[in-house]
Amino acid sequence: MKNLFTLILLFSLFSELSLAQESEIDTTQIVNLDEVILIGKRDLKKEKSIKPLASIDEYLEESNKITMIKRGNYAWEPAINNMVSDRISVTIDGMQIFGACTDKMDPITSYVDISNLAEVHIKSGQQGTENGATIGGGIDMKLQKSDFGEELWDIGIDSGFETNGNATIFSSEFNYKNEKLFSNSDVMYRKSGNYYAGGNKEVLFSQYEKFNISTVLGYKTSENGAIIGSFIFDKATDIGYPALPMDVSLAQAMIGSVSYTHKNMALINNWETKLYMNSVEHVMDDSQRPDVIIHMDMPGWSDTYGFYSKAKVNKDKHELLFNINSYYNKSLAEMTMYPNNPNENEMFMLTWPDVRTWYSGVYAEDNFRLSEKENLKITSRVGFQNERVADEFGLNSLRIFYPDMEASQNRFLMSFSSAYEIKIKKLSLMIGTAYGERAPSVSEGYGFYLFNSYDNFDYIGNPYLNKEQSLEFNGEVRYNLKGLTFSIEASYFHMNNYIIGQIDPTLSPMTIGASGVKIYSALDYATIFDANLNVSYLFLGNWKLDGSVGYSYGKDNFGENLPLISPVSYKAGINYKKNLFQAEINMEGASKQYDYAADYGEDQSEAYTVFNASTSYNFYFGSHKMFAKAGISNIFDTFYSTFADWNNIPRMGRNVFLNLTYLIK
């Protein structure tokens, strides 16, 4: 808390000092509900503190709406409004894709790399339902695509090095376009050894290696029509998860799509129809770990086939968007246990019993400009979902607990949101309300003895769970004056039938050493509240000051704390930019976690503050460009772990990095 006050004091001091020299930039605009993170490793104008070759996870962490849950140095799990995987919708360019791990080791974000992407759109709560049902919000990662035009090509070569973990990054890309054709191709490779926490403490099993290749091809079929195909192959191997009892020997995805886009038809400005399929394979591995009592093989597979067709219509004061989508997913995971005693039998289980999920839905959105200064945005999604357990053995296993369980079940899912925005001089106000529903995930509905190392319980799914329902209120106030931007945003969620695991004392665990068995069940309700305060200030022409403070609150219906809710967190930075040179110093930290969820197996995280610095320069050699960025993170080599670190694994200590990107045109 002391740090926080120092920070606020510093802010007011800076504001006082530089009030006389305000910059002329006025960024007043109606509140934008969509936060966009630009993924531009070669966007030379970018003044963000991030490393250009940072992982997608590090880019996402820049967002105030997102926190990343960490089980190691790879494949962090994004949370929006303090809600993770099952409660949020994550898509790649509108395509549904689901991880193949029963232990959430492979969020969708781990199957792409920044070389594939142009930007990431983040929408909070029910504003994020364009691509699927959600409670917490939606993340859509937009693929990098050129447009047709005058003939142009470029080649990019990038490399990065980091001292902590001896991490190396190489990537290369080739882009071409003309009036009829475009293509974007890239390869990316990352490798890191074990990283070291503050005080030079090695974090064992935190290494990884990743290879990604992608290509997008566009062909113009007529004046207004185009066919675009995309393909991503992503393969990570030898990934350590220091927070978990197992590692991953292979996490691999193939993600493909073909789409047809037509522009400027009678009423429709843009109409895109896409067919897609993707296949994910995930293989867990405990063979590197010492003292394993029973070796286990735990592979998982997830295949998804789908389509969407979306149309944008601008008519009078309405900006309309319609999206019809459908997908079919097949999730299968198994576990084989090999006892050390050769006289005992191997044990085989289906942890995900080949669950087939078929979803079809319609989304509509209207952005209605009521007047020069007022805007009303309404969104709605209606969907139908069928789930079927396709494997007889898996179904019979679940029938041990649910003898009358049917193989198949149907649900209707609904969502609605509205937001009203008004601009009064330099002030923008937004208030919104929403209602949404989600179906239980595959693990929540059909999981079979899924070990959770966070609370040390085996989890069993529950096919009789009701839909989770969320009532949401949100608001935002934004104030712009010359170089000063100030905003506060807040969201409140009241969730009925809140799905969470509850102890069943009559059952004994399958995992040796586990504390017991939890069955997914529903609380009457739970509430989550988040608020964010952001300030940015441009002064003296070249300087920029940024700061943010976040507050969250989460309780169940007994008044007990929910797990994985952030304590008070803060960030502040000062940036200097002149011509081709840029430098920045920033700090980030959090208070002690006072409201931790002891009842759900969580322990308290301590307060921390870390400091980072970086500098960059753009070099021009004729038509060639080089962008160099160097920096140091966790300057004082602080040993710390946050509320979002699974089983308190410590974060990275001091790290010096250098990123070079070279562009030939």
- CB of 167 vs Cu ion, minimal distance in Å: 22
Distance of CA 443 to the CA centre of its chain: 19
Residue 103 interacting with Cu ion (CB under 5 A) = yes
Q: What are 582's two structure tokens? A: 């840029």
- CB of 248 vs Cu ion, minimal distance in Å: 6
Helix (H) or strand (E) holding 398: helix 392-398
Q: With respect to Cu ion, which residue has the nearer C-beta, 37 or 284?
A: 284
Residue 439 interacting with Cu ion (CB under 5 A) = no
Altogether, the residues listed in the chain come to a count of 665
Query: Contact region for Cu ion (CB under 5 A) — 203-211, 252-260, 279-287, 376-384?
Result: 279-287
Residues with Cβ within 8 Å of residue 57, at least 6 apart in sequence: 68, 75, 76, 78, 109, 110
Q: With respect to Cu ion, which residue has the nearer C-beta, 88 or 239?
A: 239
Q: With respect to Cu ion, which residue has the nearer C-beta, 284 or 514?
A: 284
- CB of 498 vs Cu ion, minimal distance in Å: 25
Q: What are 410's two structure tokens? A: 């149907």
Of 443, 571, 582, 480, residue with least CA distance to 45: 582
Structural contact between residues 277 and 306, judged by C-beta atoms closer than 8 angstroms = yes
| Residues between 505 and 544 that touch Cu ion (CB under 5 A) | none
Q: With respect to Cu ion, which residue has the nearer C-beta, 442 or 526?
A: 442
Looking at this protein, which amino acid is placed at residue 285?
A: D
Side-chain half-sphere exposure of 439, counting CA atoms within 13 A: 21
- CB of 101 vs Cu ion, minimal distance in Å: 3
Q: With respect to Cu ion, which residue has the nearer C-beta, 80 or 244?
A: 244
Residue 332 interacting with Cu ion (CB under 5 A) = no
DSSP 6-66: HHHHHHHHHHHHHTTSB-S-----PPPSEEEEE--TT-TT---SS-TT--HHHHHHTSTTE
Residue 203 interacting with Cu ion (CB under 5 A) = no
- CB of 454 vs Cu ion, minimal distance in Å: 14
Residue 100 interacting with Cu ion (CB under 5 A) = no
Of 42, 45, 75, 43, residue with least CA distance to 60: 75
Q: With respect to Cu ion, which residue has the nearer C-beta, 79 or 101?
A: 101
3-state secondary structure of 515: coil
| Residues between 373 and 432 that touch Cu ion (CB under 5 A) | none
- CB of 475 vs Cu ion, minimal distance in Å: 39
- Tokens 């959430």 belong to 104
- Tokens 């675009």 belong to 228
Residue 465 interacting with Cu ion (CB under 5 A) = no
Among 101, 283, 395, 590, binds Cu ion (CB under 5 A): 101
Residue 247 interacting with Cu ion (CB under 5 A) = no
3-state secondary structure of 109: helix
Residue 335 interacting with Cu ion (CB under 5 A) = no
CB-based closest residue to Cu ion? 101
Side-chain half-sphere exposure of 383, counting CA atoms within 13 A: 30
Among 105, 535, 572, 610, binds Cu ion (CB under 5 A): 105
Of 501, 514, 496, 497, residue with least CA distance to 462: 501
Q: How many chain residues bind Cu ion (CB under 5 A)?
A: 4
Query: Contact region for Cu ion (CB under 5 A) — 215-223, 278-286, 468-476, 574-582?
Result: 278-286
Structural contact between residues 136 and 79, judged by C-beta atoms closer than 8 angstroms = yes
Q: With respect to Cu ion, which residue has the nearer C-beta, 284 or 517?
A: 284
Q: With respect to Cu ion, which residue has the nearer C-beta, 93 or 106?
A: 106
Eight-state DSSP code of residue 317 = T
Query: Contact region for Cu ion (CB under 5 A) — 40-48, 277-285, 601-609, 650-658?
Result: 277-285
Q: With respect to Cu ion, which residue has the nearer C-beta, 112 or 284?
A: 284
Residue 284 interacting with Cu ion (CB under 5 A) = yes
- Contacts to Cu ion by CB under 5 A: 101, 103, 105, 284
